[in-house]
Amino acid sequence: MQNIMNLQDFLIKNNLRKDSSGIYDFHAKIEYSYKLGTLEYPAKIQVRMIGYNGGSIHLEEDDTLTSDLYHLDFSEEYQKYAYNEEDNYLMISGESTKMKGKYTVKIFV
């Protein structure tokens, strides 16, 4: 439940708007950090706040941000979401073999 509250705080503080289906679509800068380095990159992001996938975050795939190299889909059930109000970013953190251990994704609007 704390993940959902942190995600809601981030969306509200950044005045992001949802469509009639409860989906937030926006562009942001991400910092994707893992064992092999950090990728700073502009990304299109989709957040679902209602329904079966409520609390999910999706980074749109492109030539640089690929699902072969990075996790692009996150769930409040499997990752931790933390909102840093002072620096105004949402941080997703997790751990996986694909990312060779721990990773974080910071989203700045």
User: Among all chains, which residue has been given the structure tokens 């769930």?
Assistant: 75
Q: How much is the pTM?
A: 0.94
CATH number at residue 75: 2.30.29
Average pLDDT, the chain: 95
Assess whether pLDDT exceeds 90 at residue 103. yes
Q: pLDDT, tens digit, for every residue of 44-65?
A: 999 999 877 889 999 999 999 9
Task: Please give the tally of structural domains in the chain.
Answer: 1
Range of weakest confidence among 8-12, 47-51, 65-69: 47-51
* Alpha carbons within 13 A on the beta-carbon side of 41: 18
The phi and psi torsions of 3 (rounded to 5 degrees) equal -60, -45
The residue range of the domain holding 54 is: 2-108
Q: Report CA torsion sign: 27, 60, 32, 65.
A: negative
